[in-house]
Amino acid sequence: MRSYWLWSFVFLCTWFITLFFSYGTLFVQPMILLMSALFFGLFFLSPLCQRYYVIHTVLFFLMGLLCFRILHPSQVESVSFFSFLIYVLIAGKGFYRLPLRYAMITYLYLITLAIIPYFQNVEILINIIFTGCLIGVAFLAFSQTIRKEKIISELYETLQSEFRTVKRRLATTDKLARKEEREQIARDMHDSVGHQLTALLMQLEVLRMQSTDEKTKKQFTYIKELAKTSLDETRSAVKTLKNEEEGGLSAIIRLIRKLEAESHVRITFSVKNGAFTAPLSNEQTVAVYRVVQESLTNMMRHSQIKEATIIFELVANNYFQVEINNPFEHQSCVKEGFGITSMRERMEHVGGKLDVQKFRGQFIVRGKIPLERELFDK
């Protein structure tokens, strides 16, 4: 877009200067102004035809013809520098926008228009041809440079795409491997420890029923309760291992690494006041993970600046606080959608709360969860 407006500015300045030097004033005949308007109409229309090379070339031909008609020199004793500059600018735009074959055809056509007024002046004709050859060589080098840059850019984009694909494949493979490992451990625990504890419970019940001493029966009952508690905890651990939902600090770090590698997002992550050692339950860690995940997703979707700061903090040794803030340019009020509502429900489900606000150009999501010992005290 910048190059387009730069070309427009250069064309306008050169065109009006050329009109002034050709006619001595900018207040020229209406027909000249009309053809000038047509020239710039074709110029502004040309970007719409970039993919249609033949039509684009025809537009350049028409622009050159209008230039020849409007800026045809009245005197042929010397070269009209600004008229020649207009032809060079059209040719330069052709080399910038068109494939090499079409650009060369356009250039030869424009050079022909430039030398037609000087056919009777051999010296000027030779000078124009010589200058045109030098400019043509420069344009060829310019065109080759642009094409090499485009090839390098396309190769870079291809490599970036392949790199992201490989990263996603590795992440998926790693996730599947961890999942299979967890499921294998869960099966082993269920088949070995679970069955043994069940058998132990049955044996303890048989011994309790066979015992005639009340004191011994109470001891067997107590041991049975301990074994039953162990069995319940084993089943809970098996269920947790089979749970596919991610959570915890390691999952958040993996998420940050993935976003930085694939989406070029810059994330600052910090931990304060011993938040690493906070005794969070599995449901709480999953809730924290989902809050971070949804906040970063919203940042990538709605913010122009791909930056975010994540802070984990232990507040008064009783609450775990997670805060995600990122630059937010919009002046409108924050409206809660499905994502924020879902985060709020997750936090409330584990006994916490969620606060969403905009402050000094920053969009802030802050969640606070009571620690396990706080819940037990209650």
Top pLDDT among 369 and 333 is at 369
Strand, coil or helix: what is 306?
Answer: coil
**Does 225 lie in the same domain as 115?**
no
Instruction: Sort 229 into a burial class: Cβ within 10 Å, 0-12 / 13-18 / 19+.
Output: exposed
pLDDT digits (tens, 9 = 90+) for 249-305: 667 777 777 777 666 778 888 888 777 777 777 778 888 888 888 888 888 777 777
CA 25 vs. chain centroid, Å, equals 52
For residue 258, give its domain range. Answer: 249-370
**Does 258 lie in the same domain as 237?**
no
Q: Which of 105, 120, 135 is the last residue of a domain?
A: 120
**Does 260 lie in the same domain as 224?**
no
Domain membership flag for residue 136? no
Contacts of residue 263, Cβ cutoff 8 Å, sequence gap at least 6: 300, 306
* Span of 147-151, 210-214, 260-264 with lowest mean pLDDT: 260-264
Residue 40 confidence class, pLDDT cut points 50, 70, 90? confident
Over residues 52-71, the mean pLDDT reads 87
**And the tokens for 224?**
């049975």
**And the tokens for 13?**
């300045």
**Does 237 lie in the same domain as 263?**
no
**Does 312 lie in the same domain as 271?**
yes
Domain membership flag for residue 149? no
**Does 234 lie in the same domain as 261?**
no
* Domain count along the chain: 3
**CATH code of the domain covering residue 305:** 3.30.565.10
Predicted structure pTM score = 0.44
